[in-house]
Structure formats: structure tokens, C-alpha cells
Chain A
């Protein structure tokens, strides 16, 4: 056991997987000598050599296509896209190609690719550096979208993703990188994909969140506990495909739900959660499903980020509204 930050947990997972499977490869912009712009791959090139951990030319479309080709040659690529806002250059490789390969080859080829990318707001980055694009990614069949909310999950989910034979988009929250520490095992362990996690049990209402919003939701739950309100918090962990069972089971127990996301409101993950509950859990409900999100604008400029991102008090207000419905 050691106390590790979220980003150290990620480095840990990468080091262990590089060490245990020589077919794993890390590549991307600045991941080599520099250890990545956030230092997620720090020291890995020195330890495993330039053959296993290498810088690519500055071209995301190239990074995507390279991953597909390497997978066809039996490697397990772990490419890094420096910021999620830069995936548009590589979406053909991701949405148009790698996520369809198993399907279009009748199950005869697989794409064991784990694309890592930081995202999420609140650190005052320039344009295109913080955007929450997980909603776009979640509509791609054949692609898993995974995002951890704490260091323990970061390590275990990343190892599961790397070992999985299908493409995974692994989203790392920028604000969480260094803002929390936790005791995690030093050895390799896995956290299952496609499974949501009940991070806090409760009986009155379910808050369904992911990534940084899980921690905000937990704070709201603690606050309401002092008033005798029992809040259950579900961490989605895998955003696509959704773990319907865990969500529905929780709503069956509490009868009320709020879905929370940092992204814009329209067509996002929270909308998926709400529609799932409406479709399969309507009879459990004693109130409509609440939603907390950012507004439907383009991602705002740095100075306005704090007003734009859903804040703890917005989660609290929505939770109370649904409780008092």
C-alpha cells in the first residue's frame, strides 16, 4: 500500500502493464523524455526504452491510425491524446475505424487499444483543453468509455482497460490529477469494466455521477446526512456501455434520482441515465429524475469556468427539489 495521487496511480498502472506484457506500447506527443505534459508517463521511457515508450510526430490522426496498424501486428497500443479537445483530428480512427473492426471483420480481428486523454474543467486551461466530450464518444458502438473518480479506480480501471481486447477510451480528470490522494495497493489489481460502483449507500435518493462530480456528490450527501437525509451515490465508472442493473437497483431502493454531469446538458450521459430510468424504472419513481449539468453553450473561456461548471450547491438544490417534489 502507498499513498498515491490519481496521476501517480495512472503511472503505476502503466508501469506495471509495460512490465508484465512486452506487447504494450505507449506513444503520443511528448510522452517520452518529457514524461507527458502532466508527467503521467514520467520515467517510463527511461525504464522501458524508446522502443516501448516513444514520441510521435504531432498528428492525432496519425496516432489513431498507427494504433490500429500496431494492433493488427499483435501489439497493445496505449496512445495518449494530449487533451481531449484534440480528438477531433483522430475521430475517424476512433469512431470510423477501430471501434468497428471487430464487427466488420466478423469477430476475426480485435483492437486492444487504450486511448488515454485528460479532460474536465476547473483548472483554467485555454480553449479546447477542458471540454467534456464523453457524450460524443459514448455514442460510438464498440468503444468503451471509462472514467475513474479516484486513485484506486484510476489504477484498477486502467489495468482492466489495457488488458481488454476491445478499444477503450480512458478519460482522466484534469482537476483530480493532483487534488486527491488515496492508499492503493502497490501490485497490479483490476477494477471491473462495465460496472458502476455504489460509493455510498443511502435510502432516500440516488445521485448518479462520474469523475469529478462523484466527489461533489459525496460532499452533498455528507451535508444532507446531518439533516437526516440518506443519499446513495453511484459512480458510473464506465459511461458506455451503461451499467443498467446497478442504476436501476439503486433507484428501486430510493425511488428518487438525480443524474449529474459536467458536460453541456443536451444529449449527454445524464440524459442517457434519465432515459434509462424513465424506460425501465418509471414505476420505482416517486418524483421525476433530476438533472444537473452545464448549460448548452460552447465550453466557456477560463475566467467564466467557475460560473459555468455545475457547482456543489447546484447539486444540493436539485437534490432537495427532487426530495421535496
Chain B
């Protein structure tokens, strides 16, 4: 019979998928506080420090952009628009937590302890940018999309096996990254082993030119964690306090031995994917971009704190000048890095040199001494 009801109504199930995920927000785009309890937890000084983190990231972005144009940086993935997502989450972590970053997570790496000049050397393609001191609990930025997620699961399992208390592994990927097998495998492993990992998806709308809606039919990216049996949440990624609070709660939950958590931040990449020839005009319209620009994560906190009388244009200008001076000093330090040597590269392939490498070291020694 044609109009007989099927045993299962798949359309209804599909329509319901992901409906439970509502973005967490603390302050809306007009600087209206929607969660008073959270805001009142913080002193004005603390809130100013948070705003400074975002302005620092914005300034770093602007300088990095200018430096790439001058040919003084190599690879650079713009971060403008993602300040609340990046700084909001990172500021909720401890310096002893292990950060597994991707190429757009340079600001978090720096806040986690990477000297700025090393970040610049990494961008230029110098190994010194990847030589991290032992107390910097992070790996260099990952280029292979998704790889950092499974590795974060491994770090988290290691933390658990070592019995280390109050420590988590955390990692970032983009909306595009959530399509990779590694993404699912990382979450599934961490879930299966109940390992202390915090997985952050920065949903900035695009994987290079591919919009989020073409990436997956899932209504939210947060719901992708459901299949791994781990809790997840969607958060307004332009809202620093919301991202910060959610990440802090996730960290506490994971560090307490409850297993991993996943967070999807709803944000936007204002500029191109990287500075190496990507042109967003090919795949985005002004009409789509403008509302996001108006929702700049700096605007609402700047307004709120200005209204409170604790922030002003003058304070901001002084602070930006100071950040610029630090960056200038870092560029100088990067410029002074010694030339990379093939003999050193060869020496770093293995701990003990086999004969083919020894021979090649001798060959390159001759060339380098010329």
C-alpha cells in the first residue's frame, strides 16, 4: 500500500539531527550582556586583559600581513576575525597543557610560550622556528589537516597513563578539517580511552573556497562528537567570554578524568585563506561578508569596556604601539638567525648516523667550507 507509514520516519529523524545544539553566548553583537552571571565573575581589569589579548592578535595579524607583502615572511594564514575564538579558548588553558596547533593557530602558540621571532622563522621556512624549549608544551604547527587531532588523542592518553593531574591535550582544526578521517579517529580514540583532550573546531565558514554547507550535511559540526560518545557544544565564536567560559569548563571536565570534549566556535575568516594567492572574491560576496565584519569580535568588548569607562582610543593606541614595538624587535631577531646548514639537517635525520648520511655530511662539509 502506497500511503502506508514506514516503520521508521527517516525524514523526521534527519530534521531533528543536531537541533539540540544552540550557540552559547555571553554578550551579543551590540554589547548587550545576555549572561550577567558570567560577566560579573570578572573584574574590569580582567576584562581589559581579555580585550588586550584580542587587540594583540589583531595587531600581530596586521603586522604579519604587512611583512608578507614586503617579502619578510613566507607562509602566513590570516587570523583577523578569529580573535575571540583563538584567544578566548587559549586563555582558558594552562601553560602546562599540551597544544597541538594547525597553521592558523600561531597566536595561540605565541601565547602558550613560543617567542614571536620563532613564529616568524617558522613562516620563513627556518628550522630554528621549530626548535622549541622543553617547557613549551606544544608541537610546531601542523600542515596536514586533521593529523593534529589523532596526535592530541595520543598525547591525552599519555597524560592519563602517566597519571599527571590537572593537565590536558588540546587541539584545533577548521570546519574543513572535520571532514578528515583523522578528525573522527582522534575523537573516537580519545573517547574510547577516556583521555583528557579538548578538541576545538574553529568553524570560520570556509575551507579555502569551499563553504561549510558543502563540507557536510550535518546541521552543526558539534554534533559530530555525538557518535564518538563525547560531549560537545557550539559557541558564538565572536564572543570572547563565551568561548573562554566554555573552554574553561571543558578543560575542567576533561582534566577531572571525565574524558574528552569537543567545542565548535562559530567564527569567520575576514581575509583570504593564506597570503599565497587566495582571493575570497572568487567564492564570497560582499553581502555575505558584511554582517560578519559588523560582528567583529573586538567591537562588542571595546564598546562594553568603553561604556564602563575603563577603555578608550588613547589607551588602545598606546597599547598597539607597544605591541608593534615588540613585533619590530622580533623581526630583527629573526633577521639575525644564522643560515641553515645541510650538514645540520643531515645530522638531524637520525640520532646515530648511518654510513650513507656520514658520506653526505662529508660532501656537504666540503661545500659549506667554500
Interface residues of A (CB under 8 A from B): 29-30, 32-35, 37, 55, 57-59, 61-62, 85-86, 88-89, 124-129, 265-266, 295-298, 300-305, 307-308
Contact = CB atoms under 8 A, between A and B. Distances in A.
A9 B126 CA distance: 35
Given A296-B360, A301-B127, A308 B342 contact: yes
* Interface SS, A side: loop
Interface stretch (B56-64, B81-89, B164-172, B210-218): B210-218
A57 B179 contact: yes
Interface of B: 74-75, 103, 124-127, 130, 143-146, 176-177, 179-182, 207-210, 214-216, 277-278, 282-283, 340, 342, 345-346, 348-349, 356-357, 360, 363-364
A34 B278 CA distance: 9
B345 A34 contact: no
Given A37-B208, A58-B210, A298 B349 contact: yes
A128 B349 contact: no
Interface centre among A59, A86, A266, A302 (most CB of B within 10 A): A59
A266 B214 CA distance: 42
A125 B282 CA distance: 22
A308 B146 CA distance: 29
A297 B349 contact: yes
Nearest to B284: A33
B210 A55 contact: yes
A109 B177 CA distance: 33
B346 A297 contact: yes
Nearest to B74: A302
A126 B143 contact: yes
A58 B125 contact: no
8 contacts: A30-B209, A58-B215, A124-B125, A126-B125, A128-B143, A128-B144, A303-B340, A304-B126
A302 B349 contact: no
Contacts of B125: 124, 126, 301-305
A295 B346 contact: yes
A88 B103 CA distance: 19
A55 B209 contact: yes
Contact of B74 (A55, A86, A124, A265): A124
Contacts of A61: 180-181
Contact of A295 (B124, B130, B278, B364): B364
Contacts of B124: 302-303
A298 B357 CA distance: 12
Contacts of A305: 125
A127 B144 CA distance: 9
A29 B208 contact: yes
Contacts of A62: 179, 181
B181 A296 contact: no
B103 A296 contact: no
Contacts of A308: 342, 345
Contact of B181 (A89, A129, A302): A89
Interface centre among A30, A89, A265 (most CB of B within 10 A): A30
A88 B364 CA distance: 30
Contacts of B349: 296-298
B214 A57 contact: yes
Nearest to A302: B125
Contacts of A304: 125-127, 340, 342, 345
Given A58-B210, A301-B340, 19 more contacts: A34-B282, A34-B283, A35-B282, A55-B210, A57-B216, A58-B179, A59-B179, A88-B144, A89-B181, A89-B182, A125-B75, A126-B103, A295-B342, A296-B356, A297-B342, A301-B125, A301-B130, A302-B125, A304-B126
B345 A266 contact: no
A129 B209 contact: no
Contacts of A86: 144
B210 A29 contact: yes
Contacts of A297: 342, 345-346, 348-349
A89 B179 contact: no
